[in-house]
Amino acid sequence: MSDRIPPTPWPVPGIALAAGILLFGYVWAFLPHGVPAGVAWLFMAAAIGMMIALMALGARSATVHRTALGWILLGTFFLLCGAFALAFMLPPGVDPVTGEVAALWWGLPPRAAVVVYGAGVLPLFIIPIAYAWTFRR
Amino acid sequence: MIQGAAATPGGGVILWIGLAYLVVVSVIGAVATRRTRNAADFFLAGRAVGLVALSLSIMAGTLSGFAFIGGPGLLYSVGLGALFIILPAALTHAMSAWAVGRRLRLLGEIRNVVTLPGAIGARYRSPGAQSLAGAAILVAVLGYMATNFLALGIILDAVLGMGVTPGIWLGMGVTLAYAAGGGILAGIWTDIFQGLLMAVGSVLIFGFALEAGGGLGNISTTILAADPQFLEPWGHLSPLGAFSFYFVFALGALGQPHVVHKFFMLRDPAVLRWYPLLTTVALMATLLLFVGVGLAVKALVIQGAIPPLAEADQATPIFLLNFTPPLLAALVLAGAVAAVMSTVNSFMNVGAAALLYDLPAAWKRRSATEEGRAHSPSNASRGLGTQASHDLGLGRLYTVLLSLAAALIAQLSGTLVAFLAIFGWGLFASTLVPALAVGLNWEGATRVGALASIGTGLVVTLTGESLGYLGVYALPAGVTVSGLSLVLSFLAFFAVSYLTRASAASGLDPDIRAMMES
């Protein structure tokens, strides 16, 4: 049996880095002024990054079309991070000053719609199908 | 308000549907009991589960009563932030198939592993890690079972007006009747029936919810006029609180033993190809009730169509009894019972397996390999000595004992039940996810790293939740013990594996290495 130190695939440090960022987010919450939006979004990006890295780690073997799968996972990471970034940037459903109600997107206020449809529903049409497409029997 | 629904107009239908449901489940249990001849049938459904059964069973086991009762209530209370619990649903099953599904199926084949702690023991050649993980699972399983028995008691009391305590024991008795006899085989069969019932019922209820509120646009407009924060992306939660939900429920899904151990039961790993798509579609269809009822009830309360809820968990029963036909209400209430029972059944089986195979591993001082070979249901089913009937008998006995203990806990102390339920998900996640999901895919993970991770998850979760329960401290908004313990468990796993990396290669058996590279 070899005593060599096994190689470390790139998703492993990615997961460790994400865990460090998540801890940073939690520690920030203990500080007196609460968690700013930027730190909350970074926390979210780390959680998404950890999921994507775990998928990439598991998909290193027993898959075909690996390059394409890598791009799909990367695209999903940006899709999810983008949806949550939009949730921070879009105007609220009701303007706090004028009281004007924003136009609904498929029945929901814009910020809620990008989260529910963009981060919740859209990945259903990407990741499970990518899994089946790249599955190696 | 929801006491004795059977006594309301249409209550006769509810009563008869409920009784018919219990009869169907009992018949399935009786047939499964006759087919359960050895421990392989009892714990692994004979390793003969196909795609549809796996998907529906995992979907039914994942949801429990929370998706039908607690989820809509939480959405009603805190707004859209509650959806962060289910937002990762589109990703979690593909992630679990990639990270653990195929590996566990192979491990079950080459080592005859039965449980997730058994998989950890085999991966790290460590009976100690197996026992530690088994102990963590047992604590959480008891809490989950007690919570679900209490939920059964509440639902049965709501429908039949029989009182919560008799409801607890009736619900426990019916579940135990098929679980102790037919084991997970009965669980899988009833899950197929229950999963279909849950999915179809939820889609129909979603339609009724939209109709009652005048469409999604009208529901949103109504809520925005009265409580605009409710429809902000994180509702009345802080962004960190909502994102913390997302993190814990996304990653934690990889460590839920009642769900993940079903990969051991697959007949053919090739069916995993379509597992994420089928399971995710079924899951999201079933979650429509969560979203639809939570939003519609909020709008209906604002409109004055129904009075404000005394308790948020009344959202679903009140909506069903007032806005849907009695037949559909009865089917969905049966579906809620079904969801609870299918989850409890899985927990009974996981708990019994932990008692039988995992807890004794350390003090028997045998290697995981020897343990797997000696106690393997598969080998037992092939007629190796008298182990088959011995394990089957003990499995049934442990199932009964665990159920009695959990029902007693549910009956004696409501606050204790709530306390036990709080840390169940987090304990599973923090003790199992790093060692399994990363460890099965990375040769650099070490035995000491796995022990550190499991120990960190166990200590941080139990200490943190106990201190919080006793009122010693309160965490800041957005921080949860389950999230914190999962993060610390990951970091302990990586840090200790790095420090002990020289032992990584020598800690891997050749067949385990081949499994990881396949």
Give the pLDDT of residue B22: 77
Q: Is the pLDDT of residue B386 over 80?
A: no
Question: B280: which chain A residues are within 8 Å (Cβ-Cβ)?
Answer: 124, 128
Q: How many helices (H) and strands (E) does chain A have?
A: 5, 0
Closest by alpha carbon to B209, among B280, B336, B281, B297?
B297
Give B336-360 as a 3 state SS string: HHHHHHHHHHHHHHHHHHHHHHHHH
Q: Mention every residue, 6+ apart, whose C-beta is less than 8 A from residue A49.
A: A14, A17, A18, A77
Nearest CA in chain B to A123: B90
Check residues B153 and B273 and name the one with the higher pLDDT: B273
- Tell me the sheet residues that pair with B49: B266
pLDDT tens profile B225-259 = 999 999 999 999 999 999 999 999 999 999 999 88
Q: Is B97 on the interface with A (CB under 8 A)?
A: yes
Residue A4's φ and ψ, nearest 5 degrees, are: -60, 150
- For residues B201-228, average pLDDT: 95
> Per-residue b/e over B267-303, b at no fewer than 16 CB within 10 Å?
bebebbbbbbbbbbbbbbbbbbbbbbbbbbbbbbbbe
- DSSP code for B8: S
> Cα separation of B497 and B504, whole Å?
8
Q: Using CB atoms within 10 Å of the CB of residue B394, give its burial: 0 to 12 exposed, 13 to 18 middle, 19+ buried.
A: middle
| A54 vs B99, B239, B247: nearest CB | B99
Stretch B330-347: mean pLDDT: 82
Q: Which of B95, B240, B274 sits opposite A43 (nearest CB)?
A: B240
Beta carbons of B348 and B396 less than 8 angstroms apart: no
Name chain A contacts of B276, Cβ cutoff 8 Å.
Answer: 127-128, 131-132
**Residue whose C-alpha is closest to residue B396's, from B357, B353, B360:** B353
Percentage with pLDDT > 70 across chain B: 91
**Higher pLDDT, residue B281 or B385:** B281
Chain A CA closest to residue B487? A19
Q: What is the pLDDT of residue B30?
A: 84
Judged against a pLDDT cut of 90, whether residue B28 lies above it is answered with: no
What is the DSSP code string of B114-147?
-SHHHHHHHHHT-HHHHHHHHHHHHHHHHHHHHH
Give how far A61 is from chain B: nearest CA, Å: 6
Query: How much is the pTM?
Result: 0.91
B270 at A interface, C-beta within 8 A: yes
Q: Under a CB-based contact definition with an 8 Å cutoff, are residues B107 and B441 in contact?
A: no
DSSP state letters, B356-375: IIIHHHHHHT--HHHHHHHH
CB neighbour list of residue B199: distance below 8 Å, 6 or more residues apart: B59, B282, B285, B286
Residue B361: how many CB atoms within 10 A of its CB? 28
Taken in order B144, B147, B149, B151, the sign of the CA dihedral is negative
Dump pLDDT digits (tens) for B445-483: 999 999 999 999 999 998 998 888 888 888 888 899 999
Residues of chain A contacting residue B505, judged by C-beta atoms under 8 Å apart: 1-6
Of chain A residues 1-20, which have a CB less than 8 A from chain B? 1-9, 12, 15-16, 19-20
Mind listing the pLDDT tens digit for each residue in A96-129? 888 888 899 999 999 999 999 999 999 999 999 9
Q: For chain A, say whether B504 makes contact (Cβ under 8 Å).
A: yes
The stretch B307-313 carries a mean pLDDT of 87
**Distance from the B149 Cα atom to the nearest Cα atom in chain A, whole angstroms:** 31
Determine which helix (DSSP H) or strand (DSSP E) holds B290, and give its type and residue range. helix B288-303
Does B240 sit within 8 Å of A25, measured CB to CB? yes
Size of interface A-B (CB pairs under 8 A): 215
CB proximity B473 to A under 8 Å: no
What are the backbone angles phi and psi of residue B89, rounded to the nearest 5°? -55, -30
